[in-house]
Structure 1
Amino acid sequence: MSHRDGGLQGARTRRLIRHALIELVEEKGFGDATVGDIAKRALINRATFYRYYQDKYALVEEIFQEVISELPAELGPADRISVQNRIVGWEQLFDHVGRHHRLYAALLGRRGDPWFVARLRERCVALARDRLHNVQGDIALDAGRGMPPGELELVFAANLTLGAITWWLEHDRPLPPRQMAEAVVRFATQGYFGALGLDVLPSTP
């Protein structure tokens, strides 16, 4: 758990530590970056690092919590909103990622932290589940799958979100947030074949 040392000095030290982590992940990967490496890069000693964080995972946990608190709340309210409004919500998400692109690229990329990716995926599923519950109310478990209806689909949606964000960052954000939002909503609404403009398989009788 991080030590919330108040004042400008504490904020400056945490900022230096975070920037050091991002640089090291970009250079050598999260797995190979040690507390000693982070402290050296941040121009502090190890004791100072441990004054704020128990280890590098506690540092990533703090980053995760801050990221979650800044994520747009309205990727889609808990009701049936229009496609246009959904696009606006997703555009806000990509705007958010774009503002913190270096952080996201470091932690979600090939050299990043699998724990961060897993936690972000879990959070996406939880947020979507809450909205689904608010729309559908209490739903009995699917007897055949032993899980609430839509649970697997929520995981698919979370992976779609993380995949789209990762692709966007790895390719240096080649499309504006609006176009990314439209692509995600189109895929979510029309499915794989529909989004590609291919014929959809006929439904079984």
Structure 2
Amino acid sequence: MNKKTDLRIVRTKQSIRKAFYELIQEKGYEAITIQDIADRAMINRNTFYLHYQNKPDLLDICMNELLSELKDAVVLCPISMNPFSISMLETVMQAVLEHISLNITFYHSMLIEENRIYQFQAKMETIVKDKLIEGWNPAQGNSTLAISKELLLEYLGSSFMGIVIWWIKNNKPLPADEVSYQFSRIVAYGHLRAAGIAVEDEKK
């Protein structure tokens, strides 16, 4: 009996979340009401309140669970003594894109267009930055950079998220491994060299 009850609870929560994600895409988080969610999930309002306190509680739980899963996926990426290495960037990007593929509706509702949830994007970017500096150890070399380390991390985090959003918005136009490969080389070699475009010496 308990197993049957638990299964019903799981299905109800899945229905609520699916409705929530769809409605965010359609009308934006602020415009959604509890009644909208209940109607879409085909439940009554009382059933909603059995599982969630209110709309912000639902949003927080959804974000925290997905971000926790994303962090677990990223943590499994091998640590590099050089956090800015090509292999590190490629591995982290592929792990993130593969995780997104399994939860594409959620990520689309959180990150795309005018309905995006900005705190989700910021938390996601923090996870990426934390992974990139995980293997940072000045004693192992790379202690002196020609530019600010903080500026470099900000650039990497912003460009990383830009690629992720582009990939989701355009319905995954390239395989995850190909995007990861190309992104790591754009960062490592610059966009012109990575694209095979000859770079002229401006001093000539």
1:179 Cα deviation from its structure 2 partner = 0.9
Cα distance in 1 between the residues matched to 2:30 and 2:200 = 44
Query: Structure 1 residues 57, 123: CA separation in 2 closer, same or farther (over 3 Å shift)?
Result: farther
- Residue 115 in structure 1 maps to residue 119 in structure 2: yes
Equivalence map 1:121-140=2 (5 Å): 121-132=125-136, 135-136=137-138
Identify the range of structure 1 (29-38 vs 87-96) with the bigger mean alpha-carbon deviation: 87-96
Equivalence map 1:49-198=2 (5 Å): 49-71=48-70, 72=73, 73-80=75-82, 83-84=86-87, 86-110=89-113, 111-132=115-136, 135-136=137-138, 150-198=149-197
- Residue 21 in structure 1 maps to residue 20 in structure 2: yes
Identify the range of structure 1 (110-119 vs 163-172) with the bigger mean alpha-carbon deviation: 110-119
1:200 Cα deviation from its structure 2 partner = 5.9
Provide the aligned length of Structure 1 versus Structure 2: 188
Contact 1:75 1:90 in 2 (8 A): no
In the alignment, structure 1 segments of 5+ residues that lack a partner are 1-5, 138-148
The aligned counterpart of 1:11 is 10
Query: Structure 1 residues 155, 86: CA separation in 2 closer, same or farther (over 3 Å shift)?
Result: closer
Q: What TM-score comes out, normalization by structure 1 length?
A: 0.76
Alignment deviations for residues 13-55 of structure 1 (CA, whole Å, 9 cap, x no partner): 2111110011111211222112221122112222322232233
Query: Structure 1 residues 50, 201: CA separation in 2 closer, same or farther (over 3 Å shift)?
Result: farther
* Seq. identity, %: 28
Contact 2:82 2:135 in 1 (8 A): no
What's the Cα RMSD here?
3.0
Cα distance in 1 between the residues matched to 2:199 and 2:58 = 46
1:180 Cα deviation from its structure 2 partner = 0.5
Contact 2:19 2:41 in 1 (8 A): yes
- Residue 46 in structure 1 maps to residue 45 in structure 2: yes
Q: What TM-score comes out, normalization by structure 2 length?
A: 0.76
